[in-house]
Structure 1
Amino acid sequence: MSLTRTDVPIAVPIGAGVVTVLVGFSSSFAVVLSGLRAVGATPGQAASGLLALTVL
């Protein structure tokens, strides 16, 4: 028995999309944070920079 397109509940692709967004955002968040720390930003400056990038 194979599943057809109509047998898959709508929550499955939506859940996969949400997980993809969270993983993508988290990984870019870590890269930006590392970059800010590498240029000498204090923890407060790094938090401010991340907030600014998140809002944009």
Structure 2
Amino acid sequence: MSFKAFTKIWDEHYAAEKLEDTTRENYNYILKKDIIVYFGSFYLDEISLFLLKKIF
């Protein structure tokens, strides 16, 4: 599963139920603006500490 696909599932099944609307909106904004740009096409098992350090 790609990171982008995972974030959609996370939003629908966790964030929608557990977070306030404004918090959810802020998280989704940050995901779309800063994180999905880099990791969206990666599969979850491809994201490593090395990759995170390399990009950030």
Q: TM-score range by the shorter chain?
A: 0.3 to 0.5
Q: TM-score, normalised by structure 1?
A: 0.38
Q: TM-score, normalised by structure 2?
A: 0.38
**Structure number with bigger Rg:** 1
Higher RCO structure, 1 or 2 (CA under 8 Å, sep 6+): 2
